[in-house]
Amino acid sequence: MPRYMFVLFVSACFALLGNHSLKAQDGEFQPPPKTYMDRVIAPVMSYGGGGADWLVRETREDEEQPERMLDALKLKQGMTVADVGAGVGYTSIRIAKRVGKTGTVLSTDVQPEMLRTLASNARTFKVTNIKPIRCTATDPKLPENAVDLILMVDVYHECSDPVATLKGLRKALKNDGRLVLIEFREEDPNVPIRPEHKMSVKQAKLELEANGFIFKESIEILPWQHIIIFNKKVDPPAKEEKKTEK
Tell me how many domains the chain contains: 1
Q: List per-block mean pLDDT (blocks of 10 residues) for the chain, which spans 246 residues.
A: 38 40 48 91 80 77 96 98 96 98 97 96 97 97 98 97 98 98 98 96 98 98 98 83 58
Handedness of CA 124, 76, 178, 216 (dihedral sign): negative
Residue 199 amino acid letter: M
Q: For the domain that residue 23 is a member of, what is the CATH number?
A: 3.40.50.150
Is residue 80 one of the residues assigned to a domain?
A: yes
Q: What is the DSSP letter of 146?
A: -
The CA distances from residue 55 to 45, 63, 145, in Å, are 10, 12, 30
**Inside any domain, residue 198:** yes
The structure's pTM equals: 0.84
| Nearby residues of 97 by Cβ (< 8 Å), 6 or more positions away | 127
User: Helices in 74-200 by DSSP H: which ranges?
Assistant: 92-99, 112-124, 162-172
Which residues form the domain of 187?
Answer: 3-232
